[in-house]
Amino acid sequence: NQLKLIWITPIKALAKEKEIDWTDPAHHFKDLKISICTGDYRFTPQRVKELDNSDVIVMTPEMLASRCRNATSERSNFLKEIGTIVFDESHLLTVPSRGDHIEIALMKMTEINPNVRVVLLSATMPNVDEICHWVSKLTNRDTYFLESTYRPCPLGIHYEKYYDGDKKYEDKEREKIATAVGVVNYYSDDKFLVFVHTKRTGQALIEALKHYKIHSEFHNADQGLEKRLTLEKKFKTDPEFRVMVSTSTLAWGCNLPARRVVIVGVDRGMTPVENYDIWQMVGRAGRPAFDPRGDAYILVPESREKEVVAKLKKKTPIMSQLLEDVGGHHKTLAFHIVSEIHHGHVKTRVGFHKWFRRSLAHHQNHSFNDETIDKVIDLLVKYRAVEVSGEEYKVTSVGTVASMFYFSPFDVADLRTNFKNLFDKGLKNDDVALALALGNIDSHRFGIVNKHEKSEMALFQRKVELAVGKGAVTDSCIKVACGYYNMLNGIENATFSALQSGLRNDCERTLEVLGALDGMAAKWNESDYFKTAKMRLNYGVGSHLVELCQIPNIGRVRAEKLYKAKVKNLEDFTKLDEGTLSVIMNMSKEKTAETLAEARTIRLRSFM
């Protein structure tokens, strides 16, 4: 049998780009079966069958680690049929909250499939020998380091000073924008990709470019994936579209016809941007098939020029993030070890040590001892994700659900507590309480809330404080809860659009976690409530419109029109004639007939 290829890419957008490229009739992969497996695809039996029949599978590190976790329970064969696995942008190993997933995926994959060939690709990995030795330990085979300074498009690096002096923050931002616009104006025939570190700077830059009649658009996380892909396609095909302004959404591996790149500063507020982020942005200049060479312009403050340039030129070694310490706790390590306990791979402290010895963290001699293990286990016991019987570790329902759904055990524990309180207090129909139950979890507790966000959520925050008291919930959790509240009620708020987009992408998995908790241990018997909540979050409707939104082609707007016309449920809908429905829904007669037929089928099934 022909062996399969897995291609690991850091973000979903790049996975989509690979699918588009590799299914193109002109590509030499055109006859191969290409599949994408990222976090927004549900892992159903049909998906398992698809992956078993695929030649090339494109995944994110998180999805690979999740599939490796559940390889036995899912009864999927594709991981054992992989001949080669390629990790693109493998220097992400050193990025907090990202690198641990690559590290664990490598540990698990080489255990499941000992014969797999592992390929790590990177343009910025200084301690490559150390990484090679670690991979050799995982595979029990020689690892070869292939180094080349060749770049299809030669790249020039330029440091452009902007005056900062004694200026205030806003004045410094204006200086940076003016310097960036100056570079764009000087090379008036070239396409530019301009990276900014805040959305506010991006919007200001767009306005400045408009003044010079330069066609520019802003690519950022507030937009959905389809919108971003549309912008990228337009940048490739429209000669008048000369400048793409972007946050880091385009930094990781995207191929665009940007002859020149400008990076507007090296700080995000008061925090320095990491070197690996800057060099990823630099690498977007001059891509094969678009330009003969590339040039990147990094804007640096005049007062710190020597210091900043020296820092940028210094190569930072790739370091494991598995022992990342968040708030004094090794929650990253706890996230991964709970799955090993669940699947029976780690049962005792000795087993914990044995598992850890395969990690990059161990290879790099990070401090790890019995005290670390005891702290991690004690933390998991505190959150009731793990129990200790004698010297043996066992997972609880919280730990089992966390392992199954690749979810933080601390978030699962918080969700269980929050919804128990919600049901016990009779607050099922209180949208503020529901939003808070979803948002007030460990992962959201210590995020950043800027002044503008604080202002936008002020009314919602007052509702929260009236309900639970001032200071009972962190501002960061209130911000996330506000996003959920907006989603439940169909409120579109530009300030929270990126947040709400991310929550919407994750809400199905979150509701599945709650459903699993309900079925396995909590016994709330609230499966219908969770189904309704999922529909409301997806469609932005009140409970009274959920039944209508189950009908194909009916979203919030049409559901509201139907309800206003006294069509309040599926039964009312199926009793109307096609002509009346067509007028109410502003839909063609053909589409109306099709929708009505499907609605009648759904109603018929409900009686069976």
How distant, in Å, are the alpha carbons of 210, 243, 273, 300, 451 from that of 265?
Answer: 21, 17, 9, 6, 22
pLDDT of residue 1: 57
10 Å Cβ neighbour count for 231? 21
DSSP per position, 158-179:
EEEEE--TT--HHHHHHHHHHH
**330 within 8 A of 112, measured Cβ to Cβ:** no
pLDDT of residue 565: 93
**499 within 8 A of 479, measured Cβ to Cβ:** yes
Q: Give the residue from 6, 82, 2, 73 showing the smallest Cα distance to 43.
A: 73
> CA–CA separation, 364 vs 367, rounded Å?
9
The conformation of residue 521, written as its DSSP 8-state character, comes to I
pLDDT of residue 228: 85
Q: For a pLDDT cut of 90, what percent of the chain falls above it?
A: 73
3-state helix, strand, coil in the chain (%, to 5): 55, 10, 35
Structure tokens at 347: 């049962």
Q: Which residues pair with 111 in a beta bridge?
A: none
pLDDT of residue 42: 65
Structure tokens at 552: 């194909």
Can you list the residues of the chain whose pLDDT is less than 70? 1, 40-43, 253, 606-608
pLDDT of residue 44: 75
Buried b (16+ CB within 10 A) or exposed e, 520-545: eebebebeebbebbbbbbbbbbbeeb
Residue 233 phi, psi (nearest 5): -65, -40
Length, in residues, of the chain: 608
How distant, in Å, are the alpha carbons of 185, 227, 501, 522 from that of 212?
Answer: 8, 25, 33, 61
> CA–CA separation, 398 vs 518, rounded Å?
11
pLDDT digits (tens, 9 = 90+) for 12-47: 878 888 888 899 899 999 899 999 988 766 667 788
